[in-house]
A and B are shown apart, each in its own frame.
Chain A
């Protein structure tokens, strides 16, 4: 446990979660932008425009936390040098480009709807770059040197996190804006619609999250079982290809035994809670409960899901212990 704090990689936990949340939130707003392409709606678009204001701070914070784990953060820009073979370099390029494009997209919203088509075109490109950035980010961890991460479930888990946090964040912004930046009467229908869509989105994303987490745990556990049959201290003194299995088994032991409590919290907060929220939102709206109460529930859920994601991501880093 001596290495818990450095190995949990708090800086990288925040970097990955902030940037993933930014991409997820961007896609929610981009879809909202395109949904009103044919029939512009001033109130609906007003919410979308307000929503975009969180994108620059989110991405900027993410990029900031990408430098705080560096030994020499003043030279962070050098990380752009090796795009040819380094996934880390590609990740930095992709998120830097995403940040610039997000700034342009937000600016075009700020200028209202005069350049709507140009804005949507840039938005589509930004969304694509965001997805590529998420993919590059997940590929950083898929290296043979860390066999416990070297699995496609890592990519799916990162994408699931993005589309879990993003919609929740946008919903909280909509709730905040309603009555403050958008008149109560005019905005009620949009907020109600946003809640309904949030519930459906959470159900779909939660399914992907469940698949990715189950896939990862199965991958770890199968190796742990196989490692038990490798000669020599549960495979730790294996040779050749069996060393991969032994390495994954180390990750399994850390995930299940050493930090099993964190896994339980991740399942509870990031997997069970969003589905509970989706059902609760449906129930509250069906009962005609106040939108404020539903909004407060979403805000509380965001805090809890963010905590679950932080624990889950820290566990991901902790499970990537050196295998030799």
Chain B
């Protein structure tokens, strides 16, 4: 079986500073409305025991990418050597079908350029032995990147699911999670009633 690279998001360590978002936008000079990485913030528990947890997500570089299958112009490819899903904006005609087929809202349409773009896992940097910019910039070490089979050894916890994260069985995403300890204390069964805070979860 070939290697599958992916991200690991440690919700316990994440403080929601959005440095990862900013680093990605800065490195790729993305327009204001386009965010290849997005930090979603959720509220859990009830006052006075409420808490706020954060979920940092970019492309999940799925094993069965719906974007790739649906794209009518074959602008998506999945690299054999590391499983990264790459989108070529040069081929894109701006039909935006991938923004429908992806359950995670990853591909984003830029009306000025008339094309869709998304996180390509910084594959040029990865090919040179570097980490993706978002991972490199994380202040708390909440973001990791590497062979997803190695996460079991290198990470404290490896979950395929996270609150609100659409069913992983659809496209088999490669992103793995560690849940926030406080959220687990409140909801030990992991089917936690964590409500997204509306003001930060809207799609921009």
Contacts and interface: CB of A to CB of B under 8 A. Distances in A.
Interface of A: 69-73, 75-76, 78-82, 85-89, 92, 140-141, 143-146, 231-233, 236-244, 247, 320, 322-324
Interface residues of B, number: 50
B92 to A, nearest CB: 7
Contact of A72 (B94, B99, B169, B192): B94
A72 B193 contact: no
B165 A71 contact: no
Where chain A touches its partner, the secondary structure class is: loop
B69 to A, nearest CB: 4
A324 B93 contact: no
Interface string B179-197: 0000000010011111110
B93 A76 contact: yes
Interface stretch (B3-11, B102-110, B127-135): B102-110
26 contacts: A69-B96, A70-B95, A70-B114, A71-B96, A71-B109, A71-B110, A72-B115, A75-B93, A78-B72, A79-B73, A79-B93, A82-B71, A85-B70, A86-B71, A146-B100, A146-B101, A232-B163, A232-B193, A236-B196, A237-B192, A239-B164, A239-B165, A244-B166, A320-B100, A323-B166, A324-B103
| Among all A-B residue pairs, the 7 with the closest Cβ atoms | A71-B94, A71-B114, A233-B195, A232-B193, A231-B193, A89-B72, A79-B72
B120 interface: no
Interface in B46-69: 66, 68-69
Contacts of A92: 72
A238 B70 contact: no
Given A232-B163, A237-B192, 15 more contacts: A69-B95, A70-B94, A71-B94, A143-B100, A144-B170, A145-B66, A145-B100, A145-B102, A145-B103, A232-B192, A232-B194, A237-B163, A239-B161, A324-B104, A324-B105
Nearest to A238: B164
Interface of B: 42, 66, 68-74, 91-97, 99-105, 109-111, 113-116, 161-171, 187, 190-196, 203
A288 B93 CA distance: 56
Given A81-B73, A87-B70, A241 B115 contact: no
Given A81-B74, A82-B71, A243-B166, A233 B161 contact: no
Nearest to A232: B193
Nearest to B114: A71
B159 to A, nearest CB: 9
B44 to A, nearest CB: 8
A69 B116 CA distance: 13
A71 B169 contact: no
Contacts of A140: 97
A110 B175 CA distance: 60
A78 B73 contact: yes
